[in-house]
């Protein structure tokens, strides 16, 4: 029958996919043990998403998961609308995509999150949600079992986060709206064994588009989109026979004698939650956005949602969050979602509009021959160009503007231990900074010692941009202050990390600006 649900939890995360598990771990890092509910009774063991982008890899390495990730295959070449794109252009300590099967990512994050104190309950389906005077009450069906099947229990929480995917119920039950565009086409997908399938990389054929790539153990992953074929109304994944029929019509190859390990389908629905927060209910990952998972952006954008939200929600629950901090989750990540949906729509047009898109495709190909343009699009697709508004613009200093709001790589290379423990902010001070300045800045940060870690100068070497001697970094790695920004550091500390436990004096002569 499984473990009984607790009657109360500070935070309940719905969905134990990669996004939900990472969020559960992030909350635990912030001192908030979290309950994670998952509808499926067992892990699915499938690998629908297998690409971790450079920023995501760095975040996972910073969280001490280097050994767990091992040495997976890497891929230097991504694409924009099927046109090759060199990922190494993004720079930073991680300059490739790491190919990690989704089931393995989930295993790693499950062990990590539960090891930190998150509790995962499987076979639990959320069937009801209501506001209860500043709390959220969930009606939960399960667990599966002869005695318990169909039984509904309730759990009360301060906050609920829906990480329950494209068909998630949390956002719908909370009354969230998802404006956007409905699907006009669909892409069938399967992992197939027992048949030789010719490798294809976004082959644009007269009747559609086909992709086929070899996986370990004689398995081939295939994807096929047939021009003019409208999305079907479905209650589950397609039968392999349907996938094989579409594949044959698009490519002319018969794979019906093969065996499907799994099949699925995704379409080009393009929608986003109007608000990522409604009262004490929030959404993240595919529960917040629906789009074709072009270039692995769906998974990686969702994992970045979790890292952005985790420390802010933990701060709110723990009581030290400054006013409005939690609302910056929507402000920052909704804007990222708008940009992702825009580039996905552009790529979908280039890749799947057939002969009509040929002129556009030729122009995009020419543009990608320009190094600056190729770097720009690689950074966009990999999500490394994200810059958040941080409340201060650098007072016109062009060099600072390039740094503020952007993520600071916190690793020198993939095998270098992270200088910043996850879950806290950091004040990084360059080894060449004047001794008095270092002492004063460390003293200022002392009032936030439980939330901000001062990184010793020897650990900061090589991490700070040229011309900057000190930076304040949020737990998600984004820079919110520099010593050249023309702002008193205390202002930035209070804006992002709340009021200090002991406010140090700032009136003494020589206090750093």
Give residue-wise pLDDT tens across range 44-56: 766 667 889 999 9
Last residue of a domain, one of 223, 250, 267: 267
Residues 252 and 291 placed together within one structural domain of the fold: no
The answer to whether residue 130 sits within a structural domain is yes
The answer to whether residue 96 sits within a structural domain is yes
Residues 210 and 317 placed together within one structural domain of the fold: no
CATH code, domain carrying 411: 3.40.30.120
CB atoms near residue 133 (< 10 Å): 5
* 511 pLDDT above the threshold of 60: no
Measured CA to CA, the distance from residue 416 to residue 512 in angstroms comes to: 31
Q: How many domains does the chain divide into?
A: 3
Residues 107 and 174 placed together within one structural domain of the fold: yes
Residues 282 and 251 placed together within one structural domain of the fold: no
The answer to whether residue 99 sits within a structural domain is yes
The pTM (predicted TM-score) of the whole model is 0.92
Last residue of a domain, one of 267, 282, 299: 267
Last residue of a domain, one of 248, 267, 286: 267
The answer to whether residue 510 sits within a structural domain is no
Tell me, what's the pLDDT at 164?
95
Average of pLDDT values for 60-64?
91
CATH code, domain carrying 211: 3.30.70.2450
Residues 63 and 14 placed together within one structural domain of the fold: yes
Q: Give pLDDT tens digits for 209-225.
A: 999 988 878 899 999 99
Residues 166 and 251 placed together within one structural domain of the fold: no
Look at 432 and 402; give whichever has higher pLDDT.
Answer: 402
Residues 40 and 123 placed together within one structural domain of the fold: yes
**DSSP assignment of 423-469, as one string?**
TSEEEEE-TTS-HHHHHHHHHHHHTTTTTEEEEPHHHHTTTSPTT-S
CATH code, domain carrying 336: 3.50.50.60
Give the model's confidence band at 400: pLDDT under 50 very low, under 70 low, under 90 confident, else very high. low
Residues 240 and 306 placed together within one structural domain of the fold: no
Residues 281 and 204 placed together within one structural domain of the fold: no
* 372 pLDDT above the threshold of 70: yes
The answer to whether residue 406 sits within a structural domain is yes
The answer to whether residue 385 sits within a structural domain is no
Average of pLDDT values for 473-485?
90
Residues 325 and 287 placed together within one structural domain of the fold: yes
Measured CA to CA, the distance from residue 468 to residue 366 in angstroms comes to: 37
CB-based contacts of 388: which residues, under 8 Å, 6+ apart? 328, 332, 405, 478
The answer to whether residue 61 sits within a structural domain is yes
Cβ contact 440:510 at 8 Å: yes
Strands (E), 87-241: 97-99, 119-122, 125-131, 136-141, 152-162, 180-181, 186-193, 200-205, 208-215, 219-226
The answer to whether residue 225 sits within a structural domain is yes
Nearest to 166 by CA among 273, 275, 341, 286: 286
3-state SS string over 49-100?
A: CCEECHHHHHHHHHCCCHHHHCCCCEECEEEECCEEEEHHHHCCCCCCEEEC
Average of pLDDT values for 130-138?
92
Q: Which domain holds residue 476?
A: 398-497
* 322 pLDDT above the threshold of 50: yes
Residues 24 and 108 placed together within one structural domain of the fold: yes
Tell me, what's the pLDDT at 506?
38
Tell me, what's the pLDDT at 399?
52
Residues 98 and 17 placed together within one structural domain of the fold: yes
Q: Give pLDDT tens digits for 326-361.
A: 999 999 999 999 999 999 999 999 989 888 899 999
> HSE on the CB side for 163, CA within 13 Å?
30
Give the model's confidence band at 512: pLDDT under 50 very low, under 70 low, under 90 confident, else very high. very low
């Amino acid at each position: 029958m499984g473990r009984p649900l607790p009657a109360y939890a500070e935070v309940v995360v719905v969905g134990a996919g990669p996004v939900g598990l990472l969020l559960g771990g992030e909350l635990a890092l912030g001192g908030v043990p979290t309950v994670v509910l998952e509808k499926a009774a067992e892990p699915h063991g499938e690998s629908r998403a297998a690409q971790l982008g450079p920023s995501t890899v760095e975040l996972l390495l910073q969280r001490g998961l280097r050994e767990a990730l091992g040495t997976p295959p890497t891929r230097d070449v991504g694409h924009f609308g099927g046109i090759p794109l060199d990922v190494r252009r993004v720079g930073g300590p991680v300059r490739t995509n790491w190919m990690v099967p989704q089931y393995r990512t989930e295993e790693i994050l499950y062990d990590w999150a539960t090891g930190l104190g998150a509790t995962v309950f499987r076979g639990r389906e959320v069937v009801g949600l209501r506001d209860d005077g500043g709390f959220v009450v969930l009606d939960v069906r399960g667990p599966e079992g002869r005695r318990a099947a169909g039984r509904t229990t309730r759990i009360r929480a301060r906050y609920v986060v829906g990480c329950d995917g494209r068909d998630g119920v949390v956002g719908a039950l909370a009354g969230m709206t998802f404006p956007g565009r409905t699907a006009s086409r669909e892409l069938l997908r399967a992992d197939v064994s027992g048949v030789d399938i010719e490798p294809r990389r976004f082959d644009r054929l007269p009747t559609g588009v086909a992709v086929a790539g070899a996986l370990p153990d004689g398995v081939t992953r295939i994807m096929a989109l047939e021009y003019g074929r409208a999305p079907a109304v479905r209650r589950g994944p397609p039968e392999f026979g349907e996938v094989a029929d579409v594949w044959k019509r698009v490519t002319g190859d018969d794979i019906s004698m093969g065996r499907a390990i799994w099949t699925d389908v995704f379409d080009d629905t393009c929608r986003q939650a109007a608000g990522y927060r409604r009262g004490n209910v929030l959404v993240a990952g595919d529960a917040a956005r629906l789009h074709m998972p072009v270039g692995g952006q769906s998974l990686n954008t969702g994992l970045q949602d979790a890292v952005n939200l985790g420390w802010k929600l933990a701060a709110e629950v723990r009581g030290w969050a400054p006013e409005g901090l939690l609302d910056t989750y929507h402000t920052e990540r909704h804007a990222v979602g708008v940009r992702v949906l825009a580039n996905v729509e552009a790529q979908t047009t280039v890749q799947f509009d057939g002969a009509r898109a040929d002129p556009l495709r030729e122009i995009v190909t020419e543009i990608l021959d320009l190094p600056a343009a190729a770097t720009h699009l690689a950074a966009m697709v990999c999500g490394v160009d994200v810059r958040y508004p941080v409340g201060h613009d650098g007072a016109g200093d062009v060099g600072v503007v390039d740094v503020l709001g952007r993520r600071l790589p916190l690793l020198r290379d993939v095998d270098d231990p992270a200088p910043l423990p996850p879950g806290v902010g950091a004040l990084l001070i360059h080894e060449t900074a004047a001794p008095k300045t270092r002492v004063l800045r460390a003293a200022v940060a002392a009032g936030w010692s439980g939330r901000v870690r001062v990184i010793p100068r020897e650990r900061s070497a090589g991490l700070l941009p040229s011309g900057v001697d000190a930076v304040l970094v949020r737990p998600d790695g984004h820079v919110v202050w520099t010593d050249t920004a023309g702002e008193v550091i205390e202002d930035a500390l209070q804006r992002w990390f709340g009021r200090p436990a002991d406010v140090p004096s700032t009136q003494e002569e020589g206090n750093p600006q």
